[in-house]
């Protein structure tokens, strides 16, 4: 096996490793919704004949939609989590909350062992407020 083959093999292994992590699978299930909200703004702003007033109205609609999603995080996330579980089953991994310890130094501790609650609290509820601001 040549040097290039070893590099490709290493990168493929790293990708497979990442794909089998719960946070990657859950994040991947949420990304289409976020990108769906922002893609239309991007396309509108990049068109050659856009009307600034229409762009502002469109941005306001997206802002309000993101705010509504953020306000209804419990039911909104449940469909993403079901999709993430289906993806995890397909690739042969299990979605689980990361380990907890008494004194958490590098990330917030959410005090739950339920994966759905953990990922809703640790990731999902932060995406839309960040998009809104």
pLDDT tens digit string along 105-118? 555 666 777 888 88
Q: Which of 14-18, 69-73, 76-80, 84-88 has the lowest mean pLDDT?
A: 14-18
* Sign for the pseudo-dihedral over CA of 112, 114, 115, 116: negative
Segment 15-44 shows an average pLDDT of 79
pTM given for the model? 0.66
| Tens digit of each residue's pLDDT (9 = 90 or more) over 31-69 | 888 788 888 778 877 877 777 888 788 888 888 888 888
Q: Is residue 73 part of a domain?
A: yes
Domain with 87 in it:
21-132
Q: Per the structure, how many domains does the chain have?
A: 1
pLDDT at 133 (0 to 100): 64
Q: Is residue 13 part of a domain?
A: no
Q: Is residue 43 part of a domain?
A: yes
Q: Hunting for tokens 């579980």 — which residue is that?
A: 85
Q: Is residue 109 part of a domain?
A: yes
Q: Is residue 78 part of a domain?
A: yes
Q: Is residue 2 part of a domain?
A: no
10 Å CB burial of residue 111 (0-12, 13-18, 19+) is exposed
């Amino acid at each position: 096996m040549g040097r290039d083959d070893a590099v490709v093999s290493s990168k493929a292994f790293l990708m497979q490793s990442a794909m089998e992590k719960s946070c990657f699978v859950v994040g991947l299930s949420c990304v289409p919704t976020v990108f769906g909200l922002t893609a239309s703004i991007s396309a509108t702003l990049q068109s050659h004949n856009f009307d600034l007033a229409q762009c502002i109205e469109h941005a306001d609609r997206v802002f309000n939609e993101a705010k509504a999603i953020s306000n209804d995080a419990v039911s909104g996330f449940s469909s993403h989590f079901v999709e993430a579980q289906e993806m995890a089953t397909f690739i042969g991994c299990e979605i689980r909350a990361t380990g907890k310890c008494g004194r958490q130094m590098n990330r917030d501790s959410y005090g739950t062992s339920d994966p759905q609650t953990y990922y809703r609290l640790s990731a999902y509820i932060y995406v839309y407020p960040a998009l809104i601001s």
